Amino acid sequence: MKDKQLEDARPRSVSPTSGRPGLTNAALGAAGLAGFLAVWEAVPRLGLVEDDFFPPVSRVADALATELSDDTFWTALGDTLTGWAVGLLIAVTAGILTGVVIAVVPYLREATASTIEFLRPIPSVALIPLAVLLYGTELQSVLLLVVYASFWQILIQTLYGVQDVDPVAEETARSYGLGPWARVRHVLWPTALPYVMTGVRLAAAVALILAVTAELVIGAPGLGARIAVAQTSQAVPEMYALVVVTGVLGLLINVGARTVERRALAWHQSVRGEVAV
């Protein structure tokens, strides 16, 4: 009886990707994408827009193929990913540490709240002049913008997360002699983790936007700078091809972040779904 209950209660994924509805969804998704590409191909060919500025998808695909066989494209891609990854890593580390410290040290939350609310809404792109002044077109310029934009995402989520600690869980930990550090590790951190994961996912997307923006505007090496070059040299299909690449990057980053989230939070209600016992 007990075994049966356990068997029945295995965590189930809530995603609709299993069975028939999943298949249907995938088919619909593919059909939608095909429709989009068809419209893209048709609109310039029918002369609805000038194909010098909006080339059909087949020409963009050709340009993309040329890009992919070009070594400098891969260098640019590597530069963009480096700026993204290093910046995100710094932001995640700093955001989580700051959030936990603010939560653990008494009165720090009240003391920092107004400053955080002031600094957070400053758009990262407003710091572009500062970045140029400080670092010119070096990688550090990109990092400054990426870190500034993603840091707040992580910090705010961490702050929400550490507030969510269940008093009963906290009292349980205290009554079993868990010290402050053990409570941070075994109660506070796992409680905050779902929030932190959301923060990381949002920050990963924002970091990519800022990395590309920085390269585009400042001219730091990377995909953004390559897009700018393509634009100024009238290589319109190449420009679109590079834009498509940044879109695909964003997609992959989101899928990757969701996968990590799902793995790390298998125990969490949002992932495990409702368990019927």
Instruction: Give me the numbers of helices (H) and strands (E) for the chain, helices first please.
Output: 13, 0
User: Between residue 55 and residue 74, which ones bind another protein under the rule CB under 8 A?
Assistant: none
Which residue among 2, 50, 52, 106 contacts another protein (CB under 8 A)? 2
Answer for the pair 149, 207: CB distance below 8 angstroms, yes or no: yes
Which sign, positive or negative, has the C-alpha torsion 151, 152, 156, 159? positive
Position 259, amino acid:
T
Q: Does 176 bind another protein (CB under 8 A)?
A: yes
Answer for the pair 202, 191: CB distance below 8 angstroms, yes or no: no
Q: Taking contact as CB under 8 A, which single stretch among the options 38-46, 103-111, 129-137, 167-175 is the one that binds another protein?
A: 167-175
Please say which residue, 145 or 188, places its beta carbon nearer to another protein.
188
Q: Taking contact as CB under 8 A, which single stretch among the options 8-16, 77-85, 230-238, 243-251 is the one that binds another protein?
A: 8-16
d(CA 238, CA 271): 40
d(CA 100, CA 150): 17
Please say which residue, 85 or 264, places its beta carbon nearer to another protein.
264
> Residues 178-207 vs another protein: string with x where CB under 8 A?
xx--x---xx--x--x--------------
Token digits of residue 126:
């407003």
Q: Does 171 bind another protein (CB under 8 A)?
A: yes
Please say which residue, 147 or 193, places its beta carbon nearer to another protein.
193
Q: Does 11 bind another protein (CB under 8 A)?
A: yes
Q: How far is CA 24 from CA 32, 115, 152, in A?
A: 12, 49, 38
Please say which residue, 70 or 166, places its beta carbon nearer to another protein.
166
Q: Taking contact as CB under 8 A, which single stretch among the options 73-81, 90-98, 166-174, 196-204 is the one that binds another protein?
A: 166-174
User: Between residue 240 and residue 269, which ones bind another protein under the rule CB under 8 A?
Assistant: 267-269
Q: What is the DSSP letter of 188?
A: I
d(CA 157, CA 192): 8
Residue 54 backbone dihedrals phi, psi, to 5 degrees: -135, 75
Please say which residue, 10 or 20, places its beta carbon nearer to another protein.
10
Please say which residue, 59 or 186, places its beta carbon nearer to another protein.
186
Q: Does 168 bind another protein (CB under 8 A)?
A: yes
* Share of the chain residues as helix, strand and coil, in percent rounded to the nearest 5: 80, 0, 20
Interface residues toward another protein, by CB under 8 A: 2-3, 5-6, 9-11, 166, 168-169, 171-172, 174-179, 182, 186-187, 190, 193, 267-269, 272, 275, 277
